[in-house]
Structure 1
Amino acid sequence: METKIYKANEIDAAAQDIVDGKLVSFPTETVYGLGADATNESAVKQVYAAKGRPSDNPLIVHVDGPEMVKTYAQPLSAEAQKLLDTFWPGPLTIIFNLKPNVLSKTVTGGLDTAAFRNPNNQVTLSLIRKAGVPIVGPSANTSGKPSPTIAEHVYHDLNGKISGILDDGECQYGVESTVLDMSTDQPAILRPGAISAEQIEKVINKPVLDQRVKVADSQVPKAPGMKYKHYAPNAQVYVVDSPDDWKDAAEWAKKQDHNVGVMAVDDELKSIDWPDNVETYSLGNDVLTASHALFAGLRYFDNDSTVKSIFAQGFATNGIGEAYMNRLNKSAGQKHFKA
């Protein structure tokens, strides 16, 4: 099966694939998702198979607005409604308690909760409306690899495994949505993203916990990224925490018998006389552009089998930097370069 590339004016054909129980990758403002009819258990199982994703890793359900959520979730609290009014459509995924027997356990990982998102992408919102069903949408990559931010990334990983890719160009943010658990009395961030805990607290006038913990092998995670390895290229990634460490990183690279990739902002790349076995990748000018380019950079080096090590610039963990460092640390397996 050759995977089709659908343009924005071919949404009807992509929606028909979803209705027919096939898999279609779709664009969002964060990353590309792998879509299937959330109400079709057979189609949802194909998502796990195409990605090589563990079956106890629940899927995010993409909807075209709050009314679709209310079909499946328990009655929403006033706080939850304020969040929808403020941040949807946008990069905020919210976990709600479900009504009985409305979604397959294949979607929820066997839990009585589900994560819902209303993406801020008109092409995908149109896809959902034309299909007439909510669409599951984990990132459209091989499980454990860097998330896709352009259609070509999806094609590289999933060509021949899915029916089509709805191409809407490059994603705006480049890191996945914030995941907020509203299924308990105390709201909690399970995965950081572009929307911060502070922004959420201002809306609901209530503290938000940080519960970004790695769950045990015997537990089912409530959200993606809490249990299994994520975002990892074939090469070992090392986080470079300080600008003062780049010179030592260059000296280390020079002594290696393999090629080394370096991902950093332009000022850092220009400040060092890199040895011949180093290949550089620009993260732009600041943490915002770095967040946008992170997954693309990891994929760039993943396509070069001679690169066995990757140095990637670290940033302070505030604002979008929190989401960036969350993904980068997972990609590196928490390994940081030390001289």
Structure 2
Amino acid sequence: METRRYTTKQIEQAAADLKAGKLVAFPTETVYGLGADATNPEAVKQVYAAKGRPSDNPLIVHVAKISTVEHYAAGVSQQFKRLVDAFWPGSLTIILPLKHAAFDTVVTGGLKTAAFRMPNNAATLALIEAAGVPLVGPSANTSGKPSPTLADHVLHDLNGKIAGVIDDGPTGVGLESTVIDLSVATPVILRPGVVTQEAIERVIGPIRTNQHRVSATEIPKAPGMKYKHYAPNAQVYIVPSATDFKAAISWASQQNVPFGLMAVDQVLTQQSAVRFKDQFSLGNSVTSASQHLFEGLRYFDLNPEIKIILVQGFEKLGVGLAYMNRLEKAAGQQYFTSK
């Protein structure tokens, strides 16, 4: 199969592929998603096969209209309506209880809930409208690898496995959406993102954050809760703060393997006299670091010589919580420590 690179002016052609049961990757403001008709179980099964994704990992349903959610959900609450008014289209995914048999179990992982999102990308909203159906859309990458923030990343992983990808340039946010569960008595954030707990609580009042670790036999309610994610080929070590880089570099130098650095510009400038194999700039703040985290991990994946990547950590506040959530999974919780 030849994977086509669609422009944003070729939405109708991409929608025709989706209607035919094929897979098309689409851009969002967060990362690129791998689209399939959410009402076509055979098409959805292809998503799992193309990604190598475990089939008990539920999929987010992408919509272009609130009425689509109301069609499938078993009622929507005032909390849902307030969140939609505040954050849609945008980087917030909302889990709701479903009407009986609203979606096939291949979409829901066998749960009685589904996660819904309206992405903030004009091309993808037009694609959903043209296809006439909601689209599942997990990240368009090989399962477990860094999420794609460019169409080139999609093609690197999935070329020949999907019908096409709509190229709309780099994504703006760079981290997957916040996931909040409204199917429980007290809403709970299951995956942090750029829509923070503080921002949500200003809209609907107190909520909880997930502290539960999903067991090997348990079905997760949201993506990214159970399996190792975002990992490049090299071992990632989190450097807790900018002041720890000197010691971390000294340690890495003694491992007798090529290593690289991912940090903000100020840190990279301070280490310019140190010998290391390669570097990737995370910009100048935790916000820019979040936008470029996956891009940096993929950058080093293209250099198989690199065996260790030292990546700057940030305080777990605001967007830093989402950044560290992804980075800890990429590193397998491995931190550099001088002790």
TM range (shorter): over 0.9
- Show the counterpart of 1:157: 157
Once residues 253 and 274 of structure 2 are traced to their aligned partners in structure 1, the CA distance between those partners, rounded to angstroms, is: 6
SS in 1 for 2:9: helix
- Show the counterpart of 1:295: 294
Once residues 279 and 273 of structure 2 are traced to their aligned partners in structure 1, the CA distance between those partners, rounded to angstroms, is: 9
1:208 is aligned to 2:207? yes
Q: How do residues 21-40 of structure 1 correspond to structure 2 at under 5 angstroms?
A: 21-40=21-40
Query: Does the 8 Å CA contact 1:79/1:204 hold for their aligned counterparts?
Result: yes
Code of the aligned partner of 1:83:
L
Once residues 273 and 207 of structure 2 are traced to their aligned partners in structure 1, the CA distance between those partners, rounded to angstroms, is: 44
Code of the aligned partner of 2:7:
K
- Show the counterpart of 1:279: 278
Q: How do residues 164-175 of structure 1 correspond to structure 2 at under 5 angstroms?
A: 164-175=164-175
C-alpha displacement at 1:248, in angstroms? Answer: 1.0
Once residues 49 and 255 of structure 2 are traced to their aligned partners in structure 1, the CA distance between those partners, rounded to angstroms, is: 38
- Show the counterpart of 1:187: 187
C-alpha displacement at 1:199, in angstroms? Answer: 1.1
C-alpha displacement at 1:114, in angstroms? Answer: 0.2
Once residues 272 and 29 of structure 2 are traced to their aligned partners in structure 1, the CA distance between those partners, rounded to angstroms, is: 36
TM-score (norm 1): 0.98
- Show the counterpart of 1:95: 95
C-alpha displacement at 1:303, in angstroms? Answer: 1.0
More displaced stretch, 237-246 vs 114-123:
237-246
- The ranges of structure 1 where at least 4 consecutive aligned residues each deviate by more than 3 angstroms after the TM superposition are 273-277
Code of the aligned partner of 2:28:
T
C-alpha displacement at 1:102, in angstroms? Answer: 1.3
Once residues 226 and 95 of structure 1 are traced to their aligned partners in structure 2, the CA distance between those partners, rounded to angstroms, is: 14
Query: Does the 8 Å CA contact 1:258/1:277 hold for their aligned counterparts?
Result: no
Q: How do residues 215-294 of structure 1 correspond to structure 2 at under 5 angstroms?
A: 215-294=214-293
Question: Which digits, 9 at most, give the CA deviation of each residue in 1:15-60, with x for residues without a partner?
Answer: 0001000000000000000000000000000000000000000000
Once residues 55 and 180 of structure 1 are traced to their aligned partners in structure 2, the CA distance between those partners, rounded to angstroms, is: 21
SS in 2 for 1:233: coil
C-alpha displacement at 1:273, in angstroms? Answer: 4.0
C-alpha displacement at 1:257, in angstroms? Answer: 2.2
Once residues 100 and 318 of structure 1 are traced to their aligned partners in structure 2, the CA distance between those partners, rounded to angstroms, is: 39
C-alpha displacement at 1:75, in angstroms? Answer: 0.9
C-alpha displacement at 1:249, in angstroms? Answer: 1.6
Distance 1:198 1:21, change over 3 A: same
For these two proteins, the number of residue pairs brought into alignment is 338
Query: Does the 8 Å CA contact 1:232/1:330 hold for their aligned counterparts?
Result: yes
Q: Which runs of 5+ in 1 are unaligned?
A: none
Q: Which runs of 5+ in 2 are unaligned?
A: none
- Show the counterpart of 2:333: 334
Question: Which digits, 9 at most, give the CA deviation of each residue in 1:244-274, with x for residues without a partner?
Answer: 2111122123223221010000000011245
Once residues 272 and 16 of structure 2 are traced to their aligned partners in structure 1, the CA distance between those partners, rounded to angstroms, is: 54
TM-score (norm 2): 0.98
Code of the aligned partner of 1:309:
I
- Show the counterpart of 1:58: 58
- Show the counterpart of 2:83: 83
Code of the aligned partner of 1:63:
V
Q: Percent identity?
A: 59
1:307 is aligned to 2:302? no
Query: Does the 8 Å CA contact 1:314/1:325 hold for their aligned counterparts?
Result: yes
Code of the aligned partner of 1:195:
V
